[in-house]
Amino acid sequence: MSSRTHCSHLLPIAHRLLLLALVAWLLAGAVGCQPGTGDPVVPGARRQAGSSRPRPTPLPASIRFAYASDGSSDLGALVAEFNEHYPMITVELVPKVERELRVLRAETADVMETYPSAIPELVERGAIRDLDPWMTRDESFDRDDVYESALDLYRADGKTWAIPQGIDPLVVHYNGDLFDERGVAHPDANWDLDAFLATASAVRDAEHTVYGYAYGLPSWSFDSHLFVYRHGGALIDDWHAPTRATFARVENVEALEWWSQLSARYDVAPSPDVAMEAFGGNKASTLFYGIARGQVGMWIDLYSLREGRDRPTPWTFTQGIAPLPRDERAVTLAMGYTMGYVISSATPHADACWEWLYFLSHRLPPHTVPARRSLIASEAYAREVGEEAAAVAHTVMEGEILYHDRSHAFNEFKGFGDAIDHITSGFLSPKEAMEWAQTQAGR
């Protein structure tokens, strides 16, 4: 047989093999590529923790992650764990101070931690990507597992711009030793304002200068916000985009009348002047002294600051926490701090960035409340924070969360702190103080 004849028999086989290879390549591309996201991916057999199916492995990529440099989490260990699943993705850690996490530039990072209050400007500048396409395409991303109250903080223009890291809500802290010494039942998730007042009265011990409750941290006006909003009030016209103060609303006055009576009528909470005389220190530090010395039964502080973490004087007593007491209007709302993960619109490795975000969203955040139901319900979380704190976390997350930071509605809130001081000193009634604050805000 001639060589020409031999080759004529092989050509059809070669064509078939080439065709099969081409079809296989096209199928792999259809499965492994996510159109419009910037990264080609190849099939991978690794299972990422938190996923029930193999996830595609992005081709080699190096991404920069800008994060808050407060030392609260071991990111090095997380990167090492991530690389066990994605050895082809290099994560470069870029520590930043708080103010730097409000601006994302192409040369800064591919992924960044940021705050809800920074989202509108980042969106307006076109600096970050809409994450809804990834959440929709990625079958292993369980959107229902993420609390809506957390996702809502990062929505704008009908789109989701960040995956929440964790929430740090304001909750009631209490001295468990004082409660036990007086035979007072620890608060539960269903308590209301009447139960709160009854508990504070039962803990109060005038002879030993022990108060059932002390006005919250870090300022005398801070916890009053909570009681106002849980009563259905509002201090500004729009929490997310405030334009004016609404101090004089009837609901605000009603809430502050009840709140102020904790001191003026029921004597379960000290006024600022009385607190400094009873606990020592100045206006900024006196509550810390009172708590550390066992003279305060309950107070309001961030969830993350359980057991006196990051406070000047460590607590030496058994501490518990509870959700805020329910108001008669049944407004399930809390205030707190949070951070979320965004992807730069300029990154050439968007899919690799998404895998890093996906990974982080399935890990317990340091000290704060996870944004995922499955994490809060996990045995690992209960072991880390205790069953009581885990139950409080779930209760808080089922309601609405209002994000609050130091600069939020700064201009609109002018005068409110002074008005609260006028109330707690007895100089003005809540109604008079709110009308005065409204006048000040209008100037």
Q: How far is 236 from 408, CA to CA, in rounded Å? A: 11
Q: How far is 144 from 403, CA to CA, in rounded Å? A: 21
Domains of the chain from N-terminus onward: 46-167+337-394 (3.40.190.10), 169-336+403-441 (3.40.190.10)
Q: Judge whether residue 414 has pLDDT over 60.
A: yes
Nearest to 224 by CA among 422, 440, 395, 442: 422
Rama region for 18: left / alpha / beta (φ>0; ψ in -120 to 50; rest) = alpha
Region 62-72: mean pLDDT is 83
Q: Which two tokens stand for residue 295?
A: 């003279």
Give the pLDDT score at 381.
95
Interaxial angle between packed helices 350-361 and 75-85, expressed in degrees from 0 to 180 and rounded to the nearest 10: 120
Give the pLDDT score at 400.
83
pLDDT digits (tens, 9 = 90+) for 205-257: 999 999 999 986 544 456 888 899 999 999 999 887 788 899 999 999 999 99
pLDDT digits (tens, 9 = 90+) for 272-289: 889 999 998 887 788 889
Q: Which two tokens stand for residue 38?
A: 């910037």
Could you report how far apart the first and last alpha carbons of the chain are, in Å? Answer: 104
- Band of residue 408 on the pLDDT scale cut at 50, 70, 90: low
Give the pLDDT score at 217.
56
Q: Judge whether residue 364 has pLDDT over 80.
A: yes
Give the pLDDT score at 17.
36
Query: How much of the chain exceeds pLDDT 90, in percent?
Result: 55
Give the pLDDT score at 78.
94
Q: How far is 108 from 414, CA to CA, in rounded Å? A: 34
Bigger pLDDT: 293 vs 222: 293
Q: Judge whether residue 175 has pLDDT over 90.
A: yes
Model's pTM, two decimal places?
A: 0.83
Query: Could you tell me if 321 and 174 are in contact, meaning their C-beta atoms sit under 8 angstroms apart?
Result: yes
Q: Judge whether residue 127 has pLDDT over 60.
A: yes
In this structure, of 46-50, 102-106, 378-382, the range with the lowest mean pLDDT score is 46-50
Region 292-321: mean pLDDT is 87
* One-character DSSP codes across 413-424: TTTHHHHHHHHH
Q: How far is 224 from 437, CA to CA, in rounded Å? A: 14
Region 39-51: mean pLDDT is 39
Q: How far is 69 from 97, CA to CA, in rounded Å? A: 6
Bigger pLDDT: 273 vs 82: 82
Give the pLDDT score at 351.
94
Q: Judge whether residue 165 has pLDDT over 80.
A: yes
- Band of residue 52 on the pLDDT scale cut at 50, 70, 90: very low
Give the pLDDT score at 269.
95
Q: Judge whether residue 28 has pLDDT over 70.
A: no
